[in-house]
């Protein structure tokens, strides 16, 4: 089937006089998660991981993906004639290398300009120019032309995110954006990122799994704000809500309005890292363009008081679901029949008891024993195993609630843990606590804090291969920039008041077990430590759920760490107990007893 | 006098049809420290700090410098008609802002292309182009034309740095450079940085204060290596040493050889951040140029076994000088008559007792009481004060020895310290020790470690406004890249085996006192912690000199920190004692007693 699809694509490539065609993983909004109709790379290759780009030439085809997906890609590409290229493996050719090797001077790479950001295109052009390989933008996506039964555009109605959760009216948000535009003399700002648009217009929908975004474009000028969405998604409530503040247009009219911007020779602010090249192509001849991070990115990251209150509230209810789940797990596993998948499903049901629950915020990672050591493990019917009263179980999950987004990881001993497991768990816990306890001066960036969570593992020659924390949206994406606590992401972005970030150090012993402890925290001013010379900040932690004391090696914790753990558990008990039944409450009392 | 110089310069500017002229702080080699004949900015402005650029227009003149020099610049510029512009102060116009405001479209800024790096020029052109202000390169430096009694080129003979200190023959270094060139298909690499040239050709001289570099250019091709220096600096030893390996040419012939590169249409590797625009102008029409950090930068930073042995050896002897000095200080201060300047001079004399001593590695920072709080304080006859048996004294100093470069800071209580001073000193010490004790996985960069040295100050709402550590050369510059332990320098550069870096946290209470504790360390593989999953690295510390125990608040140190301090002091005592007299030895025994 894949072979036939490739053959049809190559026919179209001939018609279009191109020698290679790029099928990126993403859509016109540079999304990580896409609605089904835009999952073109999955369709052409059969590989359905969340990241991976395909390039097809007349006699070769390749998929580029990262280490999370090497095994899965190998399996899914088998028999397709598509070769796997491993990103990050030394000596493995990149897409640019491949194109430079496979194409000759004078040949052309075809690209749908909607699917590549302006910065990517600039770097690609520079790379191919050296070998005089040309680049041809083809507006009609070639996959769409041959994909007969392609799904429809999702047409779920758009919901107005109530002001009691959003905390700031659209008008106020637009004014803040316009202030930034004025400071740059920009007359227009084009938004293409779905979460930025959802934030700006206080809208949510169910167009994409796990991410309550709306498929949309937006153009903001000094005097107007235009939202482009499919007309079928618009109801009277939305029309009323945006009346006098923003105009609603058909998603397909976005192109015409870009052309109008060009005619008006506007000075347009674009976010070069995310805006697609199709937008740039339509504007660049006539407009004065400049590229800088959208002001929305930082506005959205700094949650207001209302968002923070919702963040806190949804974490209390999420904590109740987690406690019910852990209590249930302790009884259900010895009784038998619980698997990675059924456990994850049971947790989702506990979450769904809350009436503000809207769905999961990402696919639950439910990993038993050696599966826990696979950082982005996703249990499938083929890999699913039964949980037994032995070994370690890791569950990383989160919910979307009307008042906020949650993300939590707990690692649980289902039997008696080994000394090594307790040692490793406690070292991860020390890192998690030390980071929680850190106060830092204004201007500090995440990479400066990342080390604090690793130090206790480094002390014994261990480490973990992922960042310590990612930003989180307010009833939006569970991964959100620009900040992070990481050695490779969010470099140069200071952590500011109101930012939400995860605190999730881990340890992974391949083939044996995985450990991760994750709470979400938000940055607040540290009034006690701030002084005339330095303003200090610290973390508040709304995540409420016991940390498995059976895995704690007490002698490894210092006084401050022990005090933190006991204080945290006392708070968990106090806040959650009133909402539990007698049996759950007794379980929680025991799970949170002071050490 | 300055006014007359400015008037003469403006005459020349008219002749050259330019409306502004830039007088940068640096020379053609982008040096921080310059020989006298190239200190043009000092001559035109009267300001003699180590950093500061001047711009002169027909009716205005400005100096841009940073906070280290605000007071000094204000004083030295008084009455000159040159305005001070403070870099880093919010709202203060940058040089680019100034030029955009003062010049009109169609006017020209004149620049000596030797004095600006390619990356600076690129950013300047982009900035001025928006207002259609032009840029005119003027090869004859206008200051040189009006500076009548300009000093001569330094003509001290070039010394061959003996292989017993350098550890690697020039041929081997050239081969390593050529390997990197081959990998990039480069046919030539042009070197303009003086320390890179000194490293490559194993040469040293005394052309510049504190930096034993040689004023030189170099061109390396696949089959040749050309060193351009003033003929009077070359003796037979050097000729013999480089015979068959490199050719020596007159410094003034460099231009002709660049023209030859152009004629040959070579593919030339340039270090864009440091190569001056004059080189680029001569090459860019005919050559294929590409810009990447010179391979020498990383080669030079990773010291070989011989250099590390010299590094260790010179630190033993430097430690002896330091101990003699501290012992002397303790007696001399109560006796009276010791000042910041005489103390610094006394330390230099102790260093000069060593026969490999070649001079200081930077101007000694000798700061008593509130002067210690000025991070880059330099005592002058006007600011010099007598040291009394009270308060805190900070001395940051270093030596150039034939076998290596030292840099050490000690903070000493001359009387009974206050509780606050002991608390602050001990927190700085904790940071210093915690960083010394850190093991880290391969790939870790300095910004990831910088926090470790700050954490104990952050814990009480304090911080210091400089990086924790800078790279150090092997009998070369005391400041050397590309790595650092800093929140703003060396970002992205992993710390690798053989790199030398300082460990110097501090605390500064403006108007009262300053604390800094600095040792140099070198990165070594941590064999004990390395395992199949991760290779680990740690620091060795060759700096040997007691840390003032009178300033230590013992209760603030944890077990590991106390153990480190006692172990360090035992090592200092053991290594240095054999080279001290009875009285000094007794002093050292006491200064290094176990806590």
Mean pLDDT in residue range A86-114: 93
For A484-548, the three-class secondary structure string (H helix, E strand, C coil) is EECCCCCCCCECCCCCEEEECCEEEECCCEEEECEEEEEEEECCCCCCCCCCEEEEECCCCCCCC
- Closest Cα in chain B, distance from residue A271 (Å): 20
Q: Is the pLDDT of residue A130 over 80?
A: no
Q: Is the pLDDT of residue A47 over 80?
A: yes
Alpha-carbon distance of A480 to A471, in angstroms, equals 5
pLDDT of residue A67: 84
Residue of B448, B463, B558 with shortest CB distance to A450 = B448
A438 to B458: CB separation less than 8 angstroms, yes or no:
yes
**pLDDT band per the 50, 70, 90 thresholds, residue A376:** confident
Alpha-carbon distance of B467 to B163, in angstroms, equals 33
- Closest by alpha carbon to B76, among B170, B2, B185, B152? B2
Residue of A444, A461, A530 with shortest CB distance to B461 = A530
For B273-295, the three-class secondary structure string (H helix, E strand, C coil) is CCCEHHHHHHHCCCCEEEECCCH
- Closest by alpha carbon to A287, among A361, A205, A189, A376? A189
- Closest Cα in chain B, distance from residue A124 (Å): 17
Alpha-carbon distance of B202 to B476, in angstroms, equals 11
CA dihedral A298, A301, A302, A306 (to 10 degrees): 140
Q: Which residues of A touch B452 (CB under 8 A)?
A: 451, 455
- Closest Cα in chain B, distance from residue A150 (Å): 44
pLDDT of residue A69: 87
pLDDT of residue A60: 97
Q: Which residues of B touch A129 (CB under 8 A)?
A: none
CA angle A114, A269, A159 (to 5 degrees): 65
Residue with tokens 């690697």, as numbered in its chain? B168
Contacts of B494 (CB under 8 A, 6+ apart): B442, B443, B444, B445, B483
**pLDDT band per the 50, 70, 90 thresholds, residue A50:** confident
Average pLDDT of chain A? Answer: 96
Alpha-carbon distance of B2 to A402, in angstroms, equals 69
Contacts of B190 (CB under 8 A, 6+ apart): B217, B218, B219, B220, B258, B261, B268, B269, B270, B275, B279, B283
Is residue A192 within 8 A of residue A30, CB to CB? The reply is yes
Q: Is the peptide bond before B482 cis (omega within 30 degrees of 0)?
A: yes
Using an 8 Å CB-CB cutoff, list residues of chain B that contact chain A.
438-441, 444-445, 447-452, 455, 458-463, 487, 491, 526, 528-531, 533-534, 536, 558
How many residues belong to chain B?
Answer: 595
B448 to A449: CB separation less than 8 angstroms, yes or no:
no
B458 to A441: CB separation less than 8 angstroms, yes or no:
yes
Token pair for residue B22?
């830039």
CA angle A6, A8, A13 (to 5 degrees): 90
- Closest Cα in chain B, distance from residue A307 (Å): 28
Token pair for residue A144?
């769409």
Residue to substitute from A447, A488, A539, interface B, most B β-carbons within 10 A: A447
Residue of A447, A526, A558 with shortest CB distance to B447 = A447
Q: Which residues of B touch A533 (CB under 8 A)?
A: 462-463
Question: Percent of chain A beyond pLDDT 70?
Answer: 100
Residue with tokens 């799994």, as numbered in its chain? A209
Q: Is the pLDDT of residue A255 over 80?
A: yes
Contacts of A488 (CB under 8 A, 6+ apart): A467
Residue to substitute from A183, A441, A489, interface B, most B β-carbons within 10 A: A441
A458 to B440: CB separation less than 8 angstroms, yes or no:
yes
Using an 8 Å CB-CB cutoff, list residues of chain A that contact chain B.
438-441, 444-445, 447-452, 455, 458-463, 487, 491, 526, 528-531, 533-534, 536, 558
- Closest Cα in chain A, distance from residue B127 (Å): 13
A533 to B462: CB separation less than 8 angstroms, yes or no:
yes
Token pair for residue B512?
């009262």
A463 to B534: CB separation less than 8 angstroms, yes or no:
yes
- Closest by alpha carbon to A227, among A213, A215, A240? A215
pLDDT of residue B498: 98
Alpha-carbon distance of B415 to B422, in angstroms, equals 12
Q: Is B357 exposed, middle or buried (0-12, 13-18, 19+ CB in 10 A)?
A: buried
Residue of B441, B452, B461 with shortest CB distance to A531 = B461
CA dihedral A555, A561, A562, A568 (to 10 degrees): -140
Q: Is the pLDDT of residue A5 over 90?
A: yes
Q: What number of other Cβ atoms are within 10 A of residue A17's Cβ?
A: 10
Q: Is the pLDDT of residue A340 over 90?
A: yes
Residue of A459, A487, A529 with shortest CB distance to B461 = A529
- Closest Cα in chain A, distance from residue B482 (Å): 18
Alpha-carbon distance of A68 to A72, in angstroms, equals 8
**pLDDT band per the 50, 70, 90 thresholds, residue A91:** confident
Alpha-carbon distance of A1 to A81, in angstroms, equals 11
Q: Which residues of A touch B431 (CB under 8 A)?
A: none
B526 to A459: CB separation less than 8 angstroms, yes or no:
no
A529 to B438: CB separation less than 8 angstroms, yes or no:
no
Alpha-carbon distance of A472 to A273, in angstroms, equals 19
Q: Which residues of A touch B487 (CB under 8 A)?
A: 444-445, 448
| Minimal-distance CA residue of chain A relative to B130 | A288
Q: Long-range CB contacts (< 8 A, 24+ apart) of B417-423?
A: B417/B392, B417/B550, B417/B551, B419/B553, B421/B392, B421/B513, B421/B515, B421/B551, B422/B551, B422/B552, B422/B553, B423/B460, B423/B553, B423/B556
Alpha-carbon distance of A189 to A296, in angstroms, equals 10
- Closest Cα in chain B, distance from residue A127 (Å): 13
Is residue A457 within 8 A of residue A423, CB to CB? The reply is no
Token pair for residue A241?
């809500």
Alpha-carbon distance of A515 to A532, in angstroms, equals 41
Alpha-carbon distance of B377 to B381, in angstroms, equals 13
Residue to substitute from A375, A451, A485, A506, interface B, most B β-carbons within 10 A: A451
pLDDT of residue A127: 84
Q: What is the pLDDT of residues B329-387, one digit of tens each?
A: 999 999 999 999 999 999 999 999 999 999 999 999 999 999 999 888 889 999 999 99
pLDDT of residue B134: 93
Is residue A43 within 8 A of residue A143, CB to CB? The reply is yes
Is residue A515 within 8 A of residue A411, CB to CB? The reply is yes
- Closest Cα in chain A, distance from residue B487 (Å): 7
Annotate B316-380 with DSSP letters as a single string.
HHHHHHHHHHHHHHHHHHHHS--BHHHHHHHHHHHHHTSTTEEEESS--EEEEGGGGGSTT----
Is residue B303 within 8 A of residue B278, CB to CB? The reply is no
Mean pLDDT in residue range A225-247: 98
**pLDDT band per the 50, 70, 90 thresholds, residue A357:** very high
Q: Within a 13 Å sphere around the CA of B327, how many CA atoms are in the beta-carbon half? A: 22
Q: Which residues of A touch B449 (CB under 8 A)?
A: 451
Low-confidence residues of chain B: pLDDT under 50: none
Mean pLDDT in residue range A485-504: 96
Q: Within a 13 Å sphere around the CA of A515, how many CA atoms are in the beta-carbon half? A: 28
Q: What number of other Cβ atoms are within 10 A of residue A342's Cβ?
A: 16
Q: Within a 13 Å sphere around the CA of B510, how many CA atoms are in the beta-carbon half? A: 6
- Closest Cα in chain B, distance from residue A133 (Å): 18
């Amino acid at each position: 089937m894949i072979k036939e699809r490739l053959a049809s694509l190559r026919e179209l490539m001939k018609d279009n006089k191109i020698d290679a065609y790029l099928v990126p993983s993403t859509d016109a909004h540079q999304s990580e998660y896409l609605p089904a109709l835009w999952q073109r790379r999955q369709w052409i290759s059969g590989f359905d991981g969340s990241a991976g780009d395909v390039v097809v030439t007349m006699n070769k085809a390749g998929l580029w993906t990262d280490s999370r997906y090497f095994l899965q890609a190998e399996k899914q590409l088998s028999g397709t004639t598509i070769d796997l290229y491993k990103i990050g493996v030394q000596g493995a050719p990149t897409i640019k290398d491949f194109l430079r090797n496979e194409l000759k001077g004078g040949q052309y790479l075809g690209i749908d300009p909607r699917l590549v950001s302006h910065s990517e295109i600039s770097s690609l052009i520079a790379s191919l120019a050296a070998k005089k390989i040309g680049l041809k933008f083809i507006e009609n996506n070639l996959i769409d032309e041959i994909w007969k039964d392609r799904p429809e555009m999702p047409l779920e109605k758009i919901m107005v995110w109530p002001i009691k959760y959003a905390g700031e009216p659209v008008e106020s948000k637009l004014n803040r954006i316009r202030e930034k535009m004025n400071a740059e003399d920009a007359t227009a700002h084009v938004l293409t990122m779905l979460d930025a648009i959802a934030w700006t217009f206080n809208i949510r929908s169910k167009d994409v799994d796990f991410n309550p975004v709306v498929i949309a474009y937006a153009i903001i000028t000094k005097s107007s704000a235009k939202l482009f969405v499919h007309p079928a998604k618009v109801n009277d409530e939305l029309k009323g809500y945006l009346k006098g503040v923003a105009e609603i247009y058909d998603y397909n009219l976005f192109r015409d309005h870009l052309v109008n911007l060009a005619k008006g020779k506007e000075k347009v602010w674009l976010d070069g890292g995310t805006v697609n090249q199709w937008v740039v192509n339509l504007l660049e001849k006539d407009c004065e363009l400049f590229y800088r991070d959208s002001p929305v990115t930082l506005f959205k990251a700094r949650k207001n008081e209302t968002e923070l209150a919702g963040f806190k509230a949804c974490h209390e209810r999420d904590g109740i679901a987690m406690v019910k789940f852990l209590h249930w797990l302790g009884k259900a596993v010895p009784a038998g029949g619980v698997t990675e998948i059924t456990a994850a499903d049971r947790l989702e049901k506990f979450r769904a008891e809350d009436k503000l629950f809207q769905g999961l915020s990402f696919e639950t990672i439910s990993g038993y024993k050696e599966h826990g050591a696979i950082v982005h493990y996703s249990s499938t019917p083929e890999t699913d195993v039964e949980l037994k009263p032995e070994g370690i179980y890791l569950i990383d999950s989160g919910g979307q609630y009307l008042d906020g987004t949650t993300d939590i990881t707990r690692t649980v001993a289902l039997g008696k843990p080994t000394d090594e497991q307790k040692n490793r768990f406690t070292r991860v816990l020390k890192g998690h606590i030390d980071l929680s306890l850190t106060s830092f001066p204004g201007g500090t960036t995440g990479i400066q804090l990342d080390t604090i969570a690793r130090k206790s593992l480094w002390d014994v020659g261990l480490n973990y291969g992922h960042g310590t924390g990612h930003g989180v949206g307010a009833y939006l994406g569970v991964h959100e920039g620009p900040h992070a606590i990481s050695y490779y992401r969010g470099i140069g972005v200071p952590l500011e008041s109101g930012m939400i970030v995860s605190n999730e150090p881990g340890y992974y012993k391949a083939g044996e077990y995985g450990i991760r402890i994750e709470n979400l925290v938000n940055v607040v001013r540290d009034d006690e430590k701030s002084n005339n010379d330095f303003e200090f900040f610290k973390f508040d932690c709304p995540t409420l759920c016991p940390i498995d004391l059976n895995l704690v090696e007490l002698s490894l914790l210092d006084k401050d760490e022990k005090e933190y753990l006991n204080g945290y558990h006392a708070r968990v008990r106090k806040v959650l107990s009133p909402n539990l039944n007698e049996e759950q409450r007794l379980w929680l009392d025991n799970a949170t007893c002071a050490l």
